[in-house]
Structure 1
Amino acid sequence: RKLLDAITKHCLDMGYTRSSIWTFSNEPNANYSSMTRENFLGFGCSATSLFKEQFKINTFDVAAYCERIRSGELATSLTIRFTKRQRMIYWLFWTAYSTKVVASEFEKFFGVPLKKMYGFELRVAKQLGFIKEHDGIYEMTLKGAFYYHYYENFYTLSYIDKMWGIMRTEAFPKQIKL
């Protein structure tokens, strides 16, 4: 934690803006990656696409990808269909990766106030010292960023690595149980 805090303080003192847990930029509105965007469309092998109600991953197998494209089919290897609540969690998880969540952006995207859906959780996060709120913007504290990184790393290793491991060996798995 000391290392992350020291790097963060140094970069902020140098005038950089934090755009994710480990990313600092000299451009105030720089996005870290596609994962921190509300929706995106990916092209090519292993590309991902995020839509309002689903997340898609193209096959990792180049030959299988080319065959699907030649036959006019989608090369989607895995599709996750979200409930509205799941999509909200997904949005919050990856938006929080930028270390801040703007309540008005949540409401604009989902049509419901952030506090109405997650008021209790936000209060607990504030009480634990993980976030601070200023004018509808929830920003992670150094403590919050550390714990977010810790649990995001756990999530990545236990979920994404397992999924990618299967998809590297099987072009179109019928299902993946995590």
Structure 2
Amino acid sequence: MLEKMNSTPRGKNIDAPRKEPGDQEIKKLAQELIEGQNTMTIATALGNSPWAAPLYYTNLGFRLYFFSDPTSRHIQEAVKSEQAAAAIFFQPPTGSWKEIRGIQMSGKVKRLGPGLESLKALRAYLKKFPFTADFFEPGQNLNLASFFKRFSVRFYRFEPEVLYYRDNRIGFSFRKKVLI
């Protein structure tokens, strides 16, 4: 989708930089990155003590859904502070800085109970991570209650309020706010 930019980390461009994408293209690129990755890092803080935790997630649009232990530090802090940050990134196997892409977000974490949103998100989670069925008895109904019982986890939604897209393919350290 994007032309590769041929430049060095010090900004010496060999080719002319690519034209900056418009808002809709940035939104599409951000959505593709979110859908194409499996792990996000959620960050929280209380007082002067920050914390970060990597989590498997699925998404419906820009909302991110994940399972976590309700007694875990990141959940406790997200609930108390009513705020969290999250990051998702793609680092190519070659390790080239020219291909790094990422999402930076701030928002809120909410615990989900049974309902239509949870059902849709759980279906998306099971589709994205089919191996999760291996943790249960064959034929067992996979719903929130079965996950709660098996792993003592709850289902959460990260709702971004501010989201930035980063893409070194566009230009070194390119970053733009996504209108969500």
TM (norm. structure 2) is: 0.24
Task: Judging by fraction of residues, say which structure has more helix.
Answer: 1
* Structure of greater relative contact order (alpha carbons < 8 Å, 6+ residues apart): 2
